[in-house]
Amino acid sequence: MTTPSPSVPPRSATPVAMPAMGPAGIGMGAVSIIIGILVLAWPGATLLVVAVLFGIQLIVLGALRIALSSVAPAEPPWLKPLVIVMGVLTVIAGIICLLRPGTSLLVIAIFLAIGWIFEGIAALAQSVMADRSVGARIFFIISGTISLVAGLVVALFPRDSLELLTRFGGILLVIIGIAEVIAAVMARRLTATR
């Protein structure tokens, strides 16, 4: 009894999606490059947009909490009022963020700093676990230290840190966009030669 050999598609049929991805890839890359350049040119405006979006998100989240309070369980009796109060406070926080975007940026920086500090502490704690290899210990110590230091820097200099992170994000967008354009052009050339 012989087993059938798997069918291999003809060489010309393999890159069917490549021509369609060429223009889309070039377009996506160009958009990434443009957004990256805009972020680099106006980091303050980019942060303002982030702050406004954060405020809008809080308002929507608070409104959803208030709306969903009607389906909250009746027991314990304090749960439903707590959900409503949390929803109202979240809406108020969102309104404050919209009226004072700098405040929401400060809140974002604080959350980012706290997250990185806790991540660093967790990584350092993992480095002392008994079942870790030497390489894993070194990795956790290095990543934990970097995360802890980054969190402390953001906590001490929140506004400067956010602007620096925004600029770094803009640079990454430009690099990713260039890579996408190059990949799309190469894919088009590959399919044109077949």
pLDDT digits (tens, 9 = 90+) for 123-153: 888 888 767 788 888 888 998 899 899 889 9
Is the pLDDT confidence value at 13 over 70?
A: no
- The structure tokens listed for 32 are 């990434």
Q: Average pLDDT in the 98-121 region?
A: 84
Instruction: To the nearest 10°, report the CA torsion of 124, 125, 130, 134.
Output: -10
DSSP single-letter state for residue 16: T
Taking the C-alpha atoms of residue 152 and residue 115, their distance in angstroms, rounded to an integer, is 10
List of long-range contacts for 147-152, beta carbons under 8 Å, 24+ apart: 147/116, 147/117, 147/119, 147/120, 147/123, 148/116, 148/117, 148/120, 148/121, 148/124, 149/120, 150/116, 150/120, 151/112, 151/113, 151/114, 151/115, 151/116, 151/117, 151/118, 151/119, 151/120, 152/113, 152/117
Taking the C-alpha atoms of residue 36 and residue 102, their distance in angstroms, rounded to an integer, is 22
As a whole number, the mean pLDDT across the chain is 80
Taking the C-alpha atoms of residue 80 and residue 76, their distance in angstroms, rounded to an integer, is 8
Is the pLDDT confidence value at 17 over 80?
A: no
